[in-house]
Amino acid sequence: MYKVEYDINNGSGRSVLYVHGGRMLGGNTAFAHFGSYQDAGGEIVAEIRTRRHSASPHYRSLVSSDQVTIRMRGTAHGQLYRFAGDVMEEAGSVFRAVMTPLGNDDVPPPGAVGEGGIVSGLYSIDIRMLDGIDGGHTGVMLLHDGRILGGDAFFYYLGAYSTANGRWKGQFVNQEHTAAKSEHPLFGGYEVGIGFSGSCDARGAEIEATALAGKRSIRLAATLKLIQPFASR
């Protein structure tokens, strides 16, 4: 898992990205990313497509379309990767990005995955606070064989789940990769443990959960919608 800080022409943004085995999957508060890469003699050559998953007008695209393809090349600089490239659909565009590794060593062991469980893939997640509390988050969540990864422009998720027969349950930790207190005061500044359970089918899932932020216990619900099955490229 990486935090990605990027610039496109005169705009900038942040995402989280899973990178492994020639595959890239991730996103942020409003957009999902999926693509591939290869190592060409020490240079990483990648192509990533973007797709909007949040209909909110508050999250604008940095380019002229909500669905574009970014071509980029990069090299390692210590633990960081630096990339440069362009947006295929926009002549003269300039794309630059820095990838910083996140806490891969903190990923817990995977849960059990049985028949009729949730599909491995990249999902959008829409989190809603309950009990009259204002606030919420949108982001992406990668579910793969009992493990949870994901995040948005401020947070990243690491966790595990088990699933079978149209049900699933699990836990994940919501951590900051960028200071979030001003934008998200409920979770900003905390390492938040979240336990959940709910229903699932081939298109997505529903959960009810309890989050522990500092000494405060917060109930929440969330809807997951499948964007890209893990087996597809």
Which CATH number applies to 2-101: 3.20.20.70, 2.40.128.380, 1.10.150.120, 1.20.1730.10? Answer: 2.40.128.380
Domains 2-101 and 104-229 share a fold: yes
Span 104-229 CATH architecture: Beta Barrel (2.40)
Tens digit of pLDDT for each residue in 188-203? 899 999 999 999 999 9
Note the pTM of the prediction, 2 decimals.
0.91
Tens digit of pLDDT for each residue in 49-81? 999 998 776 667 777 788 899 999 999 999 999
Tokens 């190592």 belong to residue: 39
3-state secondary structure 169-223: EEEEEEEECCCCCCCCCCCCCCCEEEEEEEEECCCEEEEEEEEEECCEEEEEEEE
Dihedral sign computed on CA atoms, order 125, 143, 67, 83:
positive
DSSP secondary structure string, 83-122? Answer: EEEEETTSTT--EEEEEEE--GGGPPPP--B-TT-PPPEE
Tens digit of pLDDT for each residue in 102-148? 976 677 899 999 999 999 999 999 999 999 998 888 999 999 999 99
The residue ranges of every structural domain in the chain are: 2-101, 104-229
